[in-house]
């Protein structure tokens, strides 16, 4: 049986120190397992890693210049619009680039996008149709 | 307090049907909440979405051609090398492109990479130092 999971999301970053400073500034706390050149953040059953772009390129056997960003987004969902606004403001204050100011979108959500220092796009959102679990997990609602 | 979580990973894909067929072929089962143009897979407390690249570009206010892939990887961890080999074989049989044949790597893991039809890179790995929880979650070990 194929597990439907992502254990680890790895972001290739030009400057691990710069990137770590950014994620710290938006309030994330790195895990003590972090090592020189790689920073880990424990998430909800999975882990986010910051890793040197050149190291990632070497691992993949590709030139670093061939590694783009953008066609993938990482969404962090919240309960309220105010939380989304605060998250976007925090990210911009930390040096993120606002891609889209939070706004109501046609499917009924409230969504903003901010790119981190390497262009990795984070979506900050409220989805009123998908309430988060008490522990913060996103479990899709049953179909009636 | 900032939650350290990714609720939703969205992959921008050129052809949602092609991409859905690929993920079905490697054994993933879409959630009945999936809608025309967007396919959802329930994961471990979070959700993976396949979404049209043009739609994603429009949401971001960027040209689709500016959206690359590659500087981010999604890892699926397993307990055994045989499981990694099987996952890679399944992905290649489904039309994925083998980026790196599974092999022992210098930090002691066993790692292979396969790109999905849009170039999104999946890492299939065993990390003997990070055993998965009984429920499949990846929780970083305490530091002694």
Q: B68, B12 in Cβ contact below 8 A?
A: no
Which comes out higher in pLDDT, residue B45 or B28?
B28
Q: Parallel, antiparallel, or unpaired: how do β-strands A121-126 and A72-78 relate?
A: parallel
The pLDDT value given to residue B104: 95
Among A31, A71, A139, the residue with its CB nearest the CB of B12 is A71
Q: Tokens 């691990």: give the residue.
A: A16
Task: Answer yes or no: is the ipTM higher than 0.85.
Answer: no
Residues B42 and B94 in one domain: no
- Is a pLDDT exceeding 90 seen at residue A81? yes
Size (chain A), residues: 144
The pLDDT value given to residue A2: 62
Structural domain ending residue among the three candidates A21, A36, A68? A68
Residues B45 and B93 in one domain: no
What is the total count of domains within chain B?
Answer: 2
Among A5, A53, A135, the residue with its CB nearest the CB of B44 is A5
Structural domain ending residue among the three candidates B68, B89, B121? B68
A84-98 mean pLDDT: 90
Among A5, A33, A43, the residue with its CB nearest the CB of B143 is A33
The pLDDT value given to residue B1: 54
CB contact (8 A) between residue B121 and residue A42: no
Structural domain ending residue among the three candidates A21, A46, A68? A68
Q: Spell out which residues of chain B touch residue A2, defining contact as CB-CB under 8 Å.
A: 26-28, 87, 90
pLDDT digits (tens, 9 = 90+) for A15-31: 888 889 888 888 889 98
Q: Parallel, antiparallel, or unpaired: how do β-strands B8-13 and B72-78 relate?
A: unpaired
Residues B130 and B76 in one domain: yes
Residues A77 and A142 in one domain: yes
Which comes out higher in pLDDT, residue B17 or B69?
B17
Indicate which of B15, B71, B144 best probes the interface with A, i.e. most A CBs within 10 Å of its own CB: B71
Residues B39 and B102 in one domain: no
Which comes out higher in pLDDT, residue A90 or B68?
A90
Provide the pLDDT confidence category of residue A126 given band limits of 50, 70 and 90.
very high
Which comes out higher in pLDDT, residue B117 or A70?
B117
- d(C-alpha B19, C-alpha B87), whole Å: 17
Across chain B, mean pLDDT equals: 85
Provide the pLDDT confidence category of residue A83 given band limits of 50, 70 and 90.
very high
Search chain B and give the residue with CA nearest A79. B3
- Is a pLDDT exceeding 70 seen at residue A133? yes
Which stretch, A44-58, B60-74, B97-111, has highest mean pLDDT?
Answer: B97-111
CATH number of domain containing A62: 3.10.180.10
Residues B47 and B92 in one domain: no
Cα distances (angstroms) measured from residue B106 to each of A59, B1, B103, B117, B127: 11, 37, 10, 29, 12
Residue % of chain B over a pLDDT of 90: 17
Residues B83 and B53 in one domain: no
Q: Tokens 């893991």: give the residue.
A: B109
Between the two ends of chain A, the Cα-to-Cα distance in Å is 26
pLDDT digits (tens, 9 = 90+) for B114-135: 888 777 888 899 999 888 888 7
CB contact (8 A) between residue B2 and residue A87: yes
The pLDDT value given to residue A1: 54
pLDDT digits (tens, 9 = 90+) for A115-124: 887 778 888 9
Residues A64 and A76 in one domain: no
Q: Spell out which residues of chain A touch residue B4, defining contact as CB-CB under 8 Å.
A: 28-29, 41-44, 48
The pLDDT value given to residue B83: 92
The pLDDT value given to residue A82: 95
- Residue range(s) defining the domain that contains residue B22: 1-68
Q: Spell out which residues of chain B touch residue A74, defining contact as CB-CB under 8 Å.
A: 6, 8-10
The pLDDT value given to residue B85: 95
Residues B37 and B94 in one domain: no
Residues A105 and A62 in one domain: no
Which comes out higher in pLDDT, residue A62 or B124?
B124
CB contact (8 A) between residue B75 and residue A1: no
Provide the pLDDT confidence category of residue A85 given band limits of 50, 70 and 90.
very high
- Is a pLDDT exceeding 70 seen at residue A142? yes
- Is a pLDDT exceeding 70 seen at residue B70? no
Across chain A, mean pLDDT equals: 85
Residues B45 and B82 in one domain: no
Q: Parallel, antiparallel, or unpaired: how do β-strands B8-13 and A38-42 relate?
A: unpaired
Indicate which of B54, B72, B100, B101 best probes the interface with A, i.e. most A CBs within 10 Å of its own CB: B72
């Amino acid at each position: 049986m194929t597990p439907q999971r992502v254990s680890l999301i790895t972001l290739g970053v030009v400057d691990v120190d710069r990137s770590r400073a950014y994620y710290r500034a938006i309030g994330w706390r790195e895990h003590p397992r972090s090592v020189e050149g790689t920073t880990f953040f424990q998430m909800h059953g999975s882990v986010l890693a910051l890793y040197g772009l050149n190291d990632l390129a070497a691992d993949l056997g590709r030139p670093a210049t061939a590694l783009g960003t953008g066609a993938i987004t990482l969404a962090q969902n919240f309960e309220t619009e105010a939380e989304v606004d605060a998250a976007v403001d925090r990210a911009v204050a930390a040096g993120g680039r606002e891609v889209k100011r939070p706004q109501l979108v046609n499917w009924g959500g409230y969504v903003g996008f901010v790119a981190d220092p390497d262009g990795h796009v984070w979506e900050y959102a409220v989805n009123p149709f998908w309430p988060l679990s008490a522990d913060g997990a996103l479990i899709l609602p049953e179909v009636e």
